[in-house]
Amino acid sequence: MKAVQFSEHGDRDVIEYGDFPDPEIERDEVLVDIKAGGLNFLDVWTRRGLPIIDLDFPHIPGSDGAGVVQDVGDEVTRFEVGDHVAVQPGKYCGKCEFCRDGEESMCVSYHLIGEHIRGVHSELAAVPEENLVAVPEHVDWETAASASLVFQTAWRMLISRGELGPSESVLVLGASGGVGHAAVQIADYVGAEVYATASTDEKLSYAEDCGADHVINYEDEDFANEIREMTGKRGVDMVVDHIGDATYPDSLKSLAKGGRIVTCGATTGGNPGAGLNRIFWNQLSVIGSTMATPGEIDDVLPLVWDGTFESHVRASLPMSEAARAHEMLEEREGFGSVVVKPDSEL
Protein backbone atom coordinates (compact mmCIF):
# COMPACT_ATOMS: atom_id res chain seq x y z
CA MET A 1 0.00 0.00 0.00
CA LYS A 2 0.93 3.69 -0.15
CA ALA A 3 1.12 5.74 3.03
CA VAL A 4 2.08 9.16 4.35
CA GLN A 5 5.12 8.59 6.58
CA PHE A 6 8.23 10.06 8.13
CA SER A 7 11.37 8.39 9.44
CA GLU A 8 12.55 11.20 11.71
CA HIS A 9 11.13 14.25 13.43
CA GLY A 10 11.52 17.58 11.72
CA ASP A 11 10.09 20.14 9.33
CA ARG A 12 7.67 19.35 6.53
CA ASP A 13 10.47 18.03 4.35
CA VAL A 14 10.58 14.80 6.40
CA ILE A 15 7.12 13.83 5.09
CA GLU A 16 7.04 11.22 2.34
CA TYR A 17 4.30 9.37 0.48
CA GLY A 18 5.37 5.94 -0.65
CA ASP A 19 5.24 2.19 -0.25
CA PHE A 20 4.56 0.71 3.18
CA PRO A 21 3.81 -2.92 4.15
CA ASP A 22 0.10 -3.78 4.15
CA PRO A 23 -1.24 -4.07 7.71
CA GLU A 24 -2.23 -7.44 9.14
CA ILE A 25 -5.21 -7.35 11.47
CA GLU A 26 -5.35 -8.85 14.96
CA ARG A 27 -8.38 -10.76 16.20
CA ASP A 28 -10.02 -7.58 17.57
CA GLU A 29 -9.13 -5.34 14.62
CA VAL A 30 -10.80 -4.17 11.44
CA LEU A 31 -9.04 -3.61 8.12
CA VAL A 32 -10.28 -0.30 6.72
CA ASP A 33 -9.94 0.81 3.11
CA ILE A 34 -9.25 4.47 3.87
CA LYS A 35 -11.13 6.91 1.64
CA ALA A 36 -10.06 10.14 3.39
CA GLY A 37 -8.10 11.31 6.41
CA GLY A 38 -8.50 14.49 8.43
CA LEU A 39 -5.54 16.55 9.67
CA ASN A 40 -5.26 18.14 13.09
CA PHE A 41 -2.55 20.25 14.67
CA LEU A 42 -1.47 17.24 16.71
CA ASP A 43 -0.19 15.79 13.41
CA VAL A 44 2.15 18.79 13.22
CA TRP A 45 3.32 18.33 16.82
CA THR A 46 3.90 14.62 16.29
CA ARG A 47 5.97 15.31 13.18
CA ARG A 48 8.02 17.90 15.06
CA GLY A 49 8.57 15.50 17.97
CA LEU A 50 6.59 17.39 20.59
CA PRO A 51 5.76 16.08 23.07
CA ILE A 52 8.67 13.65 23.08
CA ILE A 53 7.23 10.24 22.20
CA ASP A 54 9.16 7.06 21.51
CA LEU A 55 7.79 6.25 18.04
CA ASP A 56 8.50 3.26 15.84
CA PHE A 57 9.87 4.73 12.60
CA PRO A 58 8.79 5.02 9.90
CA HIS A 59 5.66 6.48 11.45
CA ILE A 60 2.31 6.92 9.69
CA PRO A 61 0.49 10.00 11.08
CA GLY A 62 -3.23 10.65 11.14
CA SER A 63 -5.75 10.42 13.97
CA ASP A 64 -8.80 11.07 11.83
CA GLY A 65 -9.91 8.93 8.90
CA ALA A 66 -12.87 7.19 7.33
CA GLY A 67 -13.43 4.37 4.88
CA VAL A 68 -14.98 1.01 4.10
CA VAL A 69 -14.48 -2.18 6.11
CA GLN A 70 -12.47 -4.60 3.99
CA ASP A 71 -11.91 -7.39 6.53
CA VAL A 72 -12.58 -8.14 10.21
CA GLY A 73 -10.79 -10.13 12.88
CA ASP A 74 -12.34 -13.22 14.45
CA GLU A 75 -13.43 -11.37 17.62
CA VAL A 76 -15.04 -8.40 15.87
CA THR A 77 -18.82 -8.27 16.38
CA ARG A 78 -19.90 -4.70 15.58
CA PHE A 79 -18.79 -4.41 11.95
CA GLU A 80 -18.79 -6.45 8.78
CA VAL A 81 -17.30 -6.12 5.31
CA GLY A 82 -18.76 -3.15 3.42
CA ASP A 83 -19.65 -1.01 6.45
CA HIS A 84 -18.76 2.67 6.41
CA VAL A 85 -16.71 3.67 9.46
CA ALA A 86 -14.75 6.57 10.95
CA VAL A 87 -11.84 6.46 13.37
CA GLN A 88 -12.21 7.43 17.03
CA PRO A 89 -8.53 7.81 17.94
CA GLY A 90 -8.49 7.66 21.76
CA LYS A 91 -7.15 4.40 23.22
CA TYR A 92 -7.89 3.57 26.85
CA CYS A 93 -6.64 0.83 29.15
CA GLY A 94 -10.14 -0.18 30.33
CA LYS A 95 -8.76 -1.05 33.76
CA CYS A 96 -7.94 2.13 35.71
CA GLU A 97 -10.37 3.93 38.04
CA PHE A 98 -11.21 6.54 35.40
CA CYS A 99 -12.18 3.91 32.84
CA ARG A 100 -14.27 2.11 35.45
CA ASP A 101 -16.00 5.39 36.30
CA GLY A 102 -16.88 5.98 32.67
CA GLU A 103 -14.34 8.80 32.20
CA GLU A 104 -12.11 6.99 29.70
CA SER A 105 -10.64 10.22 28.35
CA MET A 106 -8.94 10.65 31.75
CA CYS A 107 -7.35 7.18 31.50
CA VAL A 108 -3.84 6.96 33.01
CA SER A 109 -2.67 5.05 29.92
CA TYR A 110 -4.39 7.34 27.41
CA HIS A 111 -2.89 7.12 23.91
CA LEU A 112 -3.87 8.41 20.49
CA ILE A 113 -3.87 6.66 17.15
CA GLY A 114 -1.62 8.73 14.90
CA GLU A 115 0.24 10.38 17.78
CA HIS A 116 1.57 7.63 20.04
CA ILE A 117 0.96 4.73 17.67
CA ARG A 118 0.64 4.22 13.91
CA GLY A 119 -2.02 6.40 12.29
CA VAL A 120 -4.43 6.10 9.39
CA HIS A 121 -3.17 8.41 6.62
CA SER A 122 -2.64 5.45 4.32
CA GLU A 123 -4.54 3.37 1.78
CA LEU A 124 -5.25 0.69 4.39
CA ALA A 125 -5.34 0.77 8.18
CA ALA A 126 -5.75 -1.89 10.87
CA VAL A 127 -7.91 -0.30 13.56
CA PRO A 128 -9.18 -1.85 16.82
CA GLU A 129 -12.93 -2.38 16.72
CA GLU A 130 -13.36 -0.15 19.77
CA ASN A 131 -11.77 2.73 17.87
CA LEU A 132 -14.33 2.79 15.08
CA VAL A 133 -17.75 4.39 14.83
CA ALA A 134 -20.40 3.59 12.23
CA VAL A 135 -21.04 6.22 9.55
CA PRO A 136 -24.34 6.39 7.63
CA GLU A 137 -23.82 5.77 3.92
CA HIS A 138 -25.24 9.18 2.94
CA VAL A 139 -22.37 10.99 4.74
CA ASP A 140 -19.56 12.03 2.38
CA TRP A 141 -16.01 10.88 3.08
CA GLU A 142 -14.62 14.36 3.73
CA THR A 143 -17.17 14.93 6.49
CA ALA A 144 -16.70 11.47 7.97
CA ALA A 145 -12.91 11.84 7.94
CA SER A 146 -12.71 15.32 9.47
CA ALA A 147 -15.43 15.37 12.13
CA SER A 148 -14.54 12.87 14.82
CA LEU A 149 -11.63 14.43 16.69
CA VAL A 150 -12.67 18.07 16.54
CA PHE A 151 -16.35 17.66 17.37
CA GLN A 152 -15.84 15.23 20.21
CA THR A 153 -13.11 17.49 21.65
CA ALA A 154 -15.27 20.61 21.43
CA TRP A 155 -18.33 18.78 22.81
CA ARG A 156 -16.49 17.58 25.89
CA MET A 157 -14.95 21.03 26.44
CA LEU A 158 -18.19 22.98 26.26
CA ILE A 159 -20.81 20.49 27.45
CA SER A 160 -19.21 18.01 29.86
CA ARG A 161 -16.30 19.96 31.32
CA GLY A 162 -17.46 23.55 30.85
CA GLU A 163 -21.18 22.89 31.44
CA LEU A 164 -22.12 25.76 29.13
CA GLY A 165 -25.72 26.86 29.56
CA PRO A 166 -28.20 28.66 27.27
CA SER A 167 -28.20 31.86 29.35
CA GLU A 168 -24.41 32.20 29.25
CA SER A 169 -21.85 33.88 27.00
CA VAL A 170 -18.76 32.24 25.53
CA LEU A 171 -15.71 33.49 23.65
CA VAL A 172 -14.20 30.99 21.17
CA LEU A 173 -10.61 31.80 20.23
CA GLY A 174 -9.28 30.61 16.88
CA ALA A 175 -12.77 30.06 15.52
CA SER A 176 -11.46 29.26 12.04
CA GLY A 177 -9.69 26.05 13.09
CA GLY A 178 -11.11 22.56 13.41
CA VAL A 179 -11.91 22.62 17.14
CA GLY A 180 -12.78 26.32 17.00
CA HIS A 181 -15.42 26.06 14.30
CA ALA A 182 -16.91 23.02 16.04
CA ALA A 183 -17.02 24.92 19.34
CA VAL A 184 -18.87 27.85 17.75
CA GLN A 185 -21.55 25.53 16.39
CA ILE A 186 -21.96 23.64 19.66
CA ALA A 187 -22.21 26.87 21.67
CA ASP A 188 -24.85 28.18 19.27
CA TYR A 189 -26.70 24.84 19.50
CA VAL A 190 -26.81 25.16 23.30
CA GLY A 191 -28.27 28.64 22.97
CA ALA A 192 -25.36 30.61 24.40
CA GLU A 193 -24.32 34.06 23.20
CA VAL A 194 -21.24 33.38 21.07
CA TYR A 195 -18.23 35.63 20.58
CA ALA A 196 -15.51 34.46 18.18
CA THR A 197 -12.05 35.57 17.09
CA ALA A 198 -10.20 34.99 13.82
CA SER A 199 -7.43 36.68 11.83
CA THR A 200 -9.29 37.82 8.68
CA ASP A 201 -12.67 39.22 7.80
CA GLU A 202 -13.31 36.21 5.55
CA LYS A 203 -12.75 33.82 8.45
CA LEU A 204 -14.99 35.93 10.67
CA SER A 205 -17.74 35.72 8.07
CA TYR A 206 -17.48 31.93 8.16
CA ALA A 207 -17.64 32.05 11.96
CA GLU A 208 -20.87 34.02 11.74
CA ASP A 209 -22.23 31.40 9.35
CA CYS A 210 -21.42 28.81 12.03
CA GLY A 211 -23.43 30.69 14.64
CA ALA A 212 -21.20 33.40 16.12
CA ASP A 213 -23.21 36.42 17.31
CA HIS A 214 -20.20 38.74 17.63
CA VAL A 215 -16.81 38.54 15.91
CA ILE A 216 -13.41 40.10 16.58
CA ASN A 217 -10.43 40.32 14.23
CA TYR A 218 -7.57 39.70 16.64
CA GLU A 219 -5.03 41.04 14.13
CA ASP A 220 -6.67 44.48 14.31
CA GLU A 221 -8.10 44.56 17.83
CA ASP A 222 -7.11 43.58 21.35
CA PHE A 223 -9.76 40.92 21.91
CA ALA A 224 -9.81 41.33 25.71
CA ASN A 225 -10.52 45.06 25.40
CA GLU A 226 -13.16 44.38 22.75
CA ILE A 227 -14.89 41.82 24.97
CA ARG A 228 -14.96 44.22 27.90
CA GLU A 229 -16.47 46.92 25.67
CA MET A 230 -19.00 44.61 24.02
CA THR A 231 -20.22 43.26 27.37
CA GLY A 232 -20.35 46.57 29.27
CA LYS A 233 -17.16 45.67 31.18
CA ARG A 234 -18.75 42.47 32.48
CA GLY A 235 -16.82 39.88 30.47
CA VAL A 236 -17.97 36.47 29.27
CA ASP A 237 -18.83 33.39 31.30
CA MET A 238 -16.50 31.06 29.39
CA VAL A 239 -13.45 31.29 27.14
CA VAL A 240 -12.52 28.37 24.87
CA ASP A 241 -8.73 28.69 24.55
CA HIS A 242 -6.57 26.04 22.87
CA ILE A 243 -3.87 28.54 21.86
CA GLY A 244 -1.91 28.93 25.10
CA ASP A 245 0.92 31.40 25.77
CA ALA A 246 -0.14 33.98 23.20
CA THR A 247 -3.72 34.33 24.45
CA TYR A 248 -3.99 33.03 28.03
CA PRO A 249 -3.46 36.37 29.86
CA ASP A 250 -6.11 38.08 27.71
CA SER A 251 -8.41 35.08 28.12
CA LEU A 252 -8.34 35.67 31.88
CA LYS A 253 -9.02 39.37 31.33
CA SER A 254 -12.03 38.51 29.16
CA LEU A 255 -13.84 36.57 31.89
CA ALA A 256 -16.64 37.78 34.09
CA LYS A 257 -16.38 37.16 37.82
CA GLY A 258 -16.81 33.46 38.45
CA GLY A 259 -16.03 32.66 34.81
CA ARG A 260 -13.96 29.80 33.45
CA ILE A 261 -11.42 29.01 30.77
CA VAL A 262 -11.65 25.60 29.16
CA THR A 263 -8.55 24.45 27.32
CA CYS A 264 -7.66 21.38 25.27
CA GLY A 265 -4.23 22.43 24.04
CA ALA A 266 -1.56 25.10 23.71
CA THR A 267 -0.39 25.55 20.13
CA THR A 268 1.68 28.65 20.99
CA GLY A 269 3.20 27.19 24.15
CA GLY A 270 2.01 25.63 27.37
CA ASN A 271 3.71 27.70 30.07
CA PRO A 272 2.14 31.15 30.33
CA GLY A 273 2.13 33.04 33.60
CA ALA A 274 -0.47 31.53 35.90
CA GLY A 275 -2.30 34.81 36.54
CA LEU A 276 -3.09 33.67 40.08
CA ASN A 277 -3.95 37.16 41.34
CA ARG A 278 -6.69 37.52 38.74
CA ILE A 279 -7.83 33.92 39.25
CA PHE A 280 -8.38 34.16 43.00
CA TRP A 281 -9.64 37.75 43.05
CA ASN A 282 -12.27 37.12 40.36
CA GLN A 283 -12.87 33.53 41.49
CA LEU A 284 -12.06 32.11 38.06
CA SER A 285 -11.66 28.46 37.04
CA VAL A 286 -9.20 26.97 34.56
CA ILE A 287 -10.48 23.64 33.27
CA GLY A 288 -8.51 21.14 31.24
CA SER A 289 -10.10 18.83 28.70
CA THR A 290 -8.98 16.31 26.10
CA MET A 291 -11.14 14.12 23.89
CA ALA A 292 -14.43 12.51 24.70
CA THR A 293 -15.72 9.38 26.35
CA PRO A 294 -17.51 6.82 24.14
CA GLY A 295 -20.85 8.08 25.45
CA GLU A 296 -20.03 11.67 24.56
CA ILE A 297 -18.95 10.59 21.08
CA ASP A 298 -22.31 8.86 20.68
CA ASP A 299 -23.98 12.14 21.68
CA VAL A 300 -22.20 14.45 19.25
CA LEU A 301 -21.37 12.56 16.06
CA PRO A 302 -25.01 11.78 15.14
CA LEU A 303 -25.52 15.57 15.13
CA VAL A 304 -22.81 15.78 12.47
CA TRP A 305 -24.19 12.87 10.46
CA ASP A 306 -27.70 14.37 10.40
CA GLY A 307 -26.46 17.84 9.36
CA THR A 308 -27.12 19.69 12.62
CA PHE A 309 -23.38 20.45 12.72
CA GLU A 310 -21.23 20.90 9.64
CA SER A 311 -17.60 19.86 9.40
CA HIS A 312 -16.20 22.61 7.20
CA VAL A 313 -13.35 21.42 4.97
CA ARG A 314 -11.03 24.17 3.74
CA ALA A 315 -9.12 21.89 1.35
CA SER A 316 -9.00 18.29 0.15
CA LEU A 317 -5.59 17.22 -1.14
CA PRO A 318 -3.93 14.01 -2.35
CA MET A 319 -1.89 12.22 0.32
CA SER A 320 1.15 12.81 -1.87
CA GLU A 321 0.68 16.50 -0.99
CA ALA A 322 0.57 15.89 2.77
CA ALA A 323 3.41 18.37 3.31
CA ARG A 324 1.26 21.08 1.75
CA ALA A 325 -1.64 20.04 4.01
CA HIS A 326 0.63 20.45 7.06
CA GLU A 327 1.69 23.87 5.75
CA MET A 328 -1.94 24.99 5.59
CA LEU A 329 -2.36 24.19 9.28
CA GLU A 330 0.90 25.81 10.33
CA GLU A 331 0.25 28.97 8.31
CA ARG A 332 -3.41 29.17 9.42
CA GLU A 333 -4.69 29.22 5.86
CA GLY A 334 -8.44 29.04 5.38
CA PHE A 335 -11.37 28.04 7.59
CA GLY A 336 -12.15 24.58 8.94
CA SER A 337 -10.37 21.26 8.52
CA VAL A 338 -7.88 19.93 5.95
CA VAL A 339 -8.44 16.50 4.41
CA VAL A 340 -6.06 14.20 2.52
CA LYS A 341 -7.12 11.33 0.27
CA PRO A 342 -5.11 8.39 -1.09
CA ASP A 343 -3.89 9.26 -4.54
CA SER A 344 -5.55 6.07 -5.77
CA GLU A 345 -8.94 7.52 -4.76
CA LEU A 346 -8.55 10.61 -6.96
Q: What is the pLDDT of residues 124-142, one digit of tens each?
A: 999 999 999 999 999 999 9
DSSP state of 96: S
**What's CA 240's distance to the chain center, in Å?**
13
Decide whether 2-147+311-345 matches 163-288 in CATH topology: yes
Strands 193-198 and 90-91, sheet pairing: unpaired
- 74-121: pLDDT as tens digits: 999 999 999 999 999 998 888 899 898 889 989 878 889 999 899 999
| Contact present, 197 and 267 (Cβ < 8 Å) | no
Closest CA to 242 of 310, 162, 333: 162
CA distance 193 to 190: 9
CA distance 285 to 293: 22
Sequence spans of domains, the chain: 2-147+311-345, 163-288
Determine the topology of domain 163-288 in CATH: Quinone Oxidoreductase; Chain A, domain 1 (3.90.180)
What's at 46, amino acid-wise? T
CA distance 45 to 6: 13
CA distance 210 to 213: 9
Instruction: Tell me how far CA of residue 191 lies from CA of 159, 165, 188, 230, in angstroms.
Output: 12, 7, 5, 18
Taking domain 2-147+311-345, whether its CATH number is 3.90.180.10 is answered by: yes
Query: What totals of helices (H) and strands (E) does the chain contain, helices first?
Result: 10, 17
Length of the chain: 346
pTM for the predicted model, two decimal places? 0.95
What DSSP element (H or E) covers 18? Answer: strand 16-19
pLDDT of residue 100: 84
pLDDT, the chain, mean: 94
- 199-228: pLDDT as tens digits: 999 999 999 999 999 999 999 999 999 999
CA distance 13 to 315: 20
pLDDT of residue 338: 96
| Contact present, 214 and 228 (Cβ < 8 Å) | no
